[in-house]
Amino acid sequence: MLASKENIQVGARVASNHTKILRKDSLAVADVVRELAQAA
């Protein structure tokens, strides 16, 4: 669906401080990426 719709953007949020997201919440980020990959 996303490939055929050029104007659609996918966004995701995790409950954490955005300045430390990759340092402390890498597992939460990975979970969101996996969820988005399954939905695509």
The answer as to whether 26 is a domain residue is: yes
pLDDT at residue 35 is higher than 70:
yes
User: What pLDDT was estimated at residue 14?
Assistant: 64
Residue 27 lies in a domain: yes
Q: Which domain holds residue 24?
A: 16-40
15 — pLDDT class (breaks 50, 70, 90) = low
Residue 37 resides in a domain: yes
Residue 36 is assigned to a structural domain of this protein = yes
Choose between 15 and 26: higher pLDDT.
26
Quote the pTM value: 0.44
Instruction: Tell me whether residue 28 is in a domain.
Output: yes
Three-state DSSP string of the chain? CCCCCCCCCCCCCCCCCHHHHHHHCHHHHHHHHHHHHHHC
Residue 4's pLDDT is what?
62
Number of domains the chain is built from: 1
Structural domain includes residue 7: no
